[in-house]
Amino acid sequence: MWAIAPAGSRLSGALFPANSIRWETLGDDKKNWVLTESDVRCMMYSDMSRDGRGLGIFADRLHSPDWARTRRVSVAASEPALTEPMHGAMSPISAVDVLRRLPPEWPHDLLPAIRSEIESCGSKLIVLDDDPTGTQTVKNVPVLTKWDVPQLTAELHDPGATCYILTNSRSLGGEEARRLASCIVRNLMSASARTGRPVRVLSRSDSTLRGHFPDEIEGIIEGLGFEPDTLLLAPFFVEGGRLTIGDVHYVRDGESLVPVAMTEFAHDPVFGYQNSNLRQWVVEKTGGRIQPSQVDSLSLEEIRQGGPDLVVERLLTAPRGRVWIVNAAAMSDVQVVALALLRAESRGLKVLCRTAASFVPAYGGLEPAALLDGHDLCSGSGGGLILVGSFVPRTTQQLAELLSSGDCASLELEAAALLDPEKRPHEVGRASEFALRTMAEGRHAVVYTSRQVIHGRTRGESLLIQRAISRALIEVVRRLEVQPRFLVAKGGITASDVATEGLGVVRAEVLGQIVPGVPVWKLGPESRFPGMPLVVFPGNVGGPVSLVETLRRLEGRRQEDAPC
C-alpha cells in the first residue's frame, strides 16, 4: 500500500512503497508520518540536500499547519521509485504493482449527486470536440457539426443536459483553432442569453496529448469574455488505458504502464512533445508562459480518501488562475472531481476543463452504456465500407489483422499519388469504382491510404499533407451512388471529414459504442444517407483485433465466432 500523509500536505514527484518511508519531526514531539504519492515526488529532483541513502531535508513546501516544522524523510535505498523524476528519462512500470498499491476507490456512487447538482443549476454541458472520437464514452447524446446562433439556440431549448460540437480543430493550424474556438463560444454565449439557459463549456481533446493546447483554451476564454478561476487538465481515458498517476500520464500496454512521451503518439509530426509529467508538459506546450509553480494537482490520495469535500476545499482556497492536473486511474476518481467542480461552481468558482473522453460522462452525469449489438444497427444485405486514413502504428496493426481476416476486399490508395495533381483523379476514381463494385456484390470494401508517413518541412506543411490525403477519402464517399450497409471511418480527422463533407451531417445522435472506446453515430435526416450507422473509430484506440471485432459485431457476430 501507499504511504499516506495528513490532509493538505503537498509536494510533487515519484511513488514509493509505504514501508520505505518514515517521517519524523525534528523537535521533541516525535511522530511518525507516511506520505501520499504526490508528497514524495520531489525527493528525486527538488532543491534538497541528500545523502547516499536518499536522506532529504525539506522545508517551505508544506502548507498544512500540522506540517509547519521542517521534517526529515528517510527512504530505504533498496526500495525503487515507481515513477521517474520530472526531469530525465522515464521507464515503463508494472500496471499491476502500481494499481494494487493505490488507496481504495471512493466507495460511494456519486452519479445521483452529480445529476442533482446539474438539475439544480439547469445548465447544459457543451463539449467542444476537436475530432469526432470524443463521443466514445457517451450514448443518446446529440453531436452538431454547425454552430451558428440559431442552431445553438435550438439545441439549448432541447431538454438534454449534454451536447457535443464537432470542431475538427485538430486538423487546423493553431491560430485557426484558436479563432474557431472563440467564434463558437461567442455564438454559444449569444444563444445562452437568448434562451436564458446557462452553459458549461468543456474542451475535449486527445487522451495521448495531441491537440492545440493552449491555443484552443485561449480562444475559448476570448469567446467567454472572462478569465476562468481554474483550468482543469484531465487526459484520463479508462477505455483506452490512459491513466494519470503522480502527475505522470501513462498509456497502458498489456501489463505495463508506459509514460506517454515514450509512445508513438509523442512523435506525432504535428503535435509531438517530450514530457510525460503533466506539469512539465504544460510548461512545454505554453513555451514557458506557465511555470511549474503555477500548476497544481489533485492527488489520488486526496481524491480517494478526502472525496468531493476535500477537492472542493482545495479548489476554493487555492490562488486563482492556476492549472490543475487531475490524477485518475478509475472512473470513480473523475466522478469525485466532477461533483466537486459542480459544487465549487455553485459557490462562484469559474471553471474551464480540458479533458479526454472519460471525464465527459462524469461531468455530465451520464450513465455507462452496454456495447451495441450489430443486429440493432444494420439492415439489408449489401456490403459495408471501411475507410482507413489514420497512419499511427496501432491503426496499421489493426488494419493488417482486418485484411487477413478473409471477408473484406481491399484497395490501397497511394499517398504519393494523392499529392500529385495529375495522378490524384485516377487514384480516387479507381478507389470509388472498387468500393461500389465490391458493395454491390454484398462484400465489405476496405479503402486505406498507404502506410508511409509523408512529412512536410514544418508542422504546418505536415498538417496540410494529412488533410490532402484525408480529402481523397471524402471524394470516394461523395461518389457513392448507393447507401452502404454501414460506414467505418478509421482516424479522427478522417471520420470528421467523412461525416461533415462526405455525408453532409449537421446533427447526429451518438447511439453508444460498438467496442470499448469506439462510438456509433446515427445520421440525421439532412445527411446523404439518413439513419445509416457511422462508426467513428479513433486511430489510437483498441487492441490488434479491435477492427476485426467491430466488423463482426456489425454483422451480428462476436470475436469468438468463426473467422470472417
CB 341 within 8 A of CB 326: no
- Spatial distance between the Cα atoms of 247 and 303, rounded to a whole number of angstroms: 13
Domain ranges of the chain: 18-81, 111-236+289-364, 374-554
- Spatial distance between the Cα atoms of 66 and 264, rounded to a whole number of angstroms: 44
CB 242 within 8 A of CB 257: no
Decide yes or no: CATH 3.40.1050.10 for domain 111-236+289-364: no
Label residues 175-196 b or e (16+ Cβ within 10 Å = b).
Answer: eebbbbbbebbbbbbebbeebe
Give the three-class secondary structure for 496. helix
The two beta strands, 124-129 and 199-204, are: parallel
Q: Taking Cα atoms as reference points, which of 117, 390, 99, 377 lies closest to residue 246?
A: 99
CB 233 within 8 A of CB 341: no
Superfamily, domain 374-554: Four-carbon acid sugar kinase, nucleotide binding domain (3.40.980.20)
Residue 439 in grid coordinates: 458493395
CB 149 within 8 A of CB 190: yes
Question: What pLDDT is stored for residue 375 in this prediction?
Answer: 75
CB 91 within 8 A of CB 33: no
For 205, list phi and psi in degrees, rounded to 5.
Answer: -140, -165
Please, what's the largest Cα pairwise distance for the chain?
Answer: 86
β-pair partners for 150: none
| DSSP state string for 330-341 | SHHHHHHHHHHH
pLDDT tens by residue, the chain, 564 residues: 333 333 333 333 333 333 333 333 334 343 344 444 333 333 332 322 223 323 222 223 333 333 333 233 333 332 233 333 444 457 999 999 999 999 999 999 999 999 999 999 999 999 999 988 899 999 999 999 999 999 999 999 999 999 999 999 998 999 999 999 999 999 999 999 999 999 999 999 999 999 999 999 999 999 999 999 999 999 999 989 999 999 999 999 999 999 999 999 999 989 999 999 999 999 999 999 999 999 999 999 999 999 999 999 999 999 999 999 999 999 999 999 999 999 999 999 999 999 999 999 999 999 987 899 877 787 667 899 999 988 888 999 999 999 999 879 999 999 889 889 999 999 999 999 999 999 999 999 999 998 877 778 887 888 788 788 888 999 999 999 999 999 999 988 889 889 999 999 999 999 999 999 899 999 999 999 999 999 999 888 889 999 999 999 998 865 444 333
- Spatial distance between the Cα atoms of 302 and 246, rounded to a whole number of angstroms: 12
CB 145 within 8 A of CB 497: no
- Spatial distance between the Cα atoms of 485 and 555, rounded to a whole number of angstroms: 10
- Spatial distance between the Cα atoms of 467 and 43, rounded to a whole number of angstroms: 45
